[in-house]
Structure 1
Amino acid sequence: NMGVVVFGTFAYTASPLTYDLEALSYLLEMTTIGLAGESTAIGDAIMQSIRTLSFGEAENKAIILLTDGYHNAGRTSPEQAVEKAKSLGIKIYTIGIGKKSDYDAAMLETIAKESRGKSYAASSAEALSKVYKEIDTLEPSPIRSENYLNQKLLIFFPLALVFLLLFIWIIYQNRSET
């Protein structure tokens, strides 16, 4: 179960928790830098992530904080947000992207350490992919055993039944008129 919180000057939940990784991937492709403002509200992003995670039922919860900037906006400090995450048992994995001089590596390290997560640096798409794979091994999630039908299929069957019954009714009406 994953969700996406986008942040800049402000933070917002772009996708609630979902199992639809394809939809999340598409959402991330459509997200542009500056969409939520030009500043970096890391504390607000963590708090919004905590709110988003509160709707989930998983026993172990984690935040992956991906940033290319310094905390310079928002109402909540990163320290306050980390304290809240710690109190709820939520780990935070931080990833600084780009050159280390572009983001506050020391702060990201502190956030990760305080929340029992881990801090990473990624200067390329390949490095970022490796980081995600490592986090995936650190935070294994059980595979859902229940069968979930595609929602499109769930609506197709009742509609098909309605059309079939309507077709039978029309044929019956035509036969009874003749």
Structure 2
Amino acid sequence: MFELSHPWVLLLLPLPLIWRRIVPPYRQRQDALRVPFFDQIAEAAGLTVQDGAAIVAHKRRALIGGGLMWALLVLALAGPVRLGPPQEITKATRDVILAIDISGSMDTRDFPGEDGKPVQRLAAVQEVVEAFLADRTGDRVALIVFGTRAYVQAPLTEDLDTVRALLAQTEVGMAGPHTALGDSIGLAINTFEASEIEERLLILLSDGNDTASRMSPVNAAEIARDKGVRMFAIGVGDPEASGEDRLDMALLNNLAQRTGGEAYFAADADALDSIYDEIDALNPQEIETLSWRPQQNLAHWPLMAAMAIGLILLMSLWVRDHGRARA
């Protein structure tokens, strides 16, 4: 498909005709022999004497060639372009960080699977989170894993296949045996600082209480709220357990509410899956699509054609003058 970037330039096409009609012919003063009795000769010949000039008649090929050259030059100025097929780019409008607990307690095999048999807590979480990532079109996602320390496993990216691959390679105990909730929230805040997107969502998933943080989880949640981060906390542990393995749902609920989010308890894989659906319902996904068509500038073609016509006209004049000189 072809298109003109400046179609209004075509209004210049009739300019030579208008110029020729409005502007008088060019007159040039030349030396001549003065005849004192010129009027008498003209009267004897029956001619009427008047002021005037001889207008040189242009050759037809010169008029046609000049008209074509002008039309091609105007066409080049109009900016002809060839349009390629439409292209669409989906731009991220929301940043999502998944902060996943991989402390020693996540190795416990007490999480009811889809078939009812107990499976490892981290394995069940990985399966559901992978399905969650498959529907993240239009989001940038980062992965943080935490135990005794918190680490960025994947920065904010639209390459969700890489995030899923890194999640699948994550194993229990890689970040230490304890649980550092506050540090994971603080690391998520720092990760969001590199983004200019206003909508920021933190999904925190843990099966224990905070035992190793250098930053208080409550203080971290307050800072997250001030930074515009909305947190959703998901507990997958055992609230009836004791010690470090006990799931502190009261703390998770406090942290989430401080940022305007929600806290959930996932009793099994189906409940965990439905929690992600509920989070999506509370935070509708907005996708910004940019559409454009690649353009190829074609202005050089009419310019080259105009130059070719001009060379042909010059060569024809040279051949004509050279022939007359030899004659």
Report if the CA contact (8 A) 1:2-1:19 is conserved.
yes
Question: What does 1:81-100 correspond to in 2, within 5 Å?
Answer: 81-100=220-239
2:176 corresponds in structure 1 to: 37
Q: 2:163 matched to 1:19?
A: no
1:142 corresponds in structure 2 to: 286
Report if the CA contact (8 A) 1:10-1:41 is conserved.
yes
Q: 2:246 matched to 1:107?
A: no
Calculate the TM-score normalised by the size of structure 2: 0.43
Letter in 2 for 1:130: S
Report if the CA contact (8 A) 1:66-1:94 is conserved.
yes
Q: 2:275 matched to 1:131?
A: yes
Distance, in Å, in 1 between the alignment partners of 2:221 and 2:265 is 19
Q: 1:127 to 1:69 in 2, by over 3 A?
A: same
Distance, in Å, in 2 between the alignment partners of 1:114 and 1:85 is 9
Q: Deviations over 1:99-131 (max 9, x none)?
A: 223310000010011110000011222221111
1:74 CA displacement: 2.0
SS of 2:289's partner is coil
Q: Deviations over 1:5-60 (max 9, x none)?
A: 11000001100001122222222121112110010000000000111111222211
Deviates more, 1:90-99 or 1:124-133: 124-133
Distance, in Å, in 2 between the alignment partners of 1:11 and 1:79 is 17
Deviates more, 1:93-102 or 1:114-123: 93-102
2:61 corresponds in structure 1 to: none
1:144 CA displacement: 4.0
Unaligned runs of 5+ in 1: 148-178
1:57 corresponds in structure 2 to: 196
CA RMSD of aligned residues (A): 1.4
Report if the CA contact (8 A) 2:144-2:188 is conserved.
yes
Distance, in Å, in 2 between the alignment partners of 1:127 and 1:19 is 27
Calculate the TM-score normalised by the size of structure 1: 0.78
More helix by share: 1
Q: 2:216 matched to 1:77?
A: yes
Report if the CA contact (8 A) 1:9-1:39 is conserved.
yes
Deviates more, 1:136-145 or 1:41-50: 136-145
Distance, in Å, in 2 between the alignment partners of 1:30 and 1:129 is 21
Letter in 2 for 1:104: D
Q: 1:8 aligns with which of 147, 168, 171?
A: 147
Give the number of the structure whose alpha-carbon radius of gyration is greater. Answer: 2
Report if the CA contact (8 A) 2:144-2:154 is conserved.
yes
Report if the CA contact (8 A) 2:207-2:235 is conserved.
yes
Count of aligned pairs between the two proteins: 147
Letter in 2 for 1:119: A
Letter in 1 for 2:212: A
Q: 2:190 matched to 1:46?
A: no
Letter in 2 for 1:126: D
Report if the CA contact (8 A) 1:98-1:124 is conserved.
no
Greater length-normalized contact order (CA 8 Å, ≥ 6 residues apart): 2
Report if the CA contact (8 A) 1:41-1:72 is conserved.
yes
Distance, in Å, in 1 between the alignment partners of 2:283 and 2:165 is 23
Report if the CA contact (8 A) 2:148-2:180 is conserved.
yes
Q: Percent identity?
A: 40
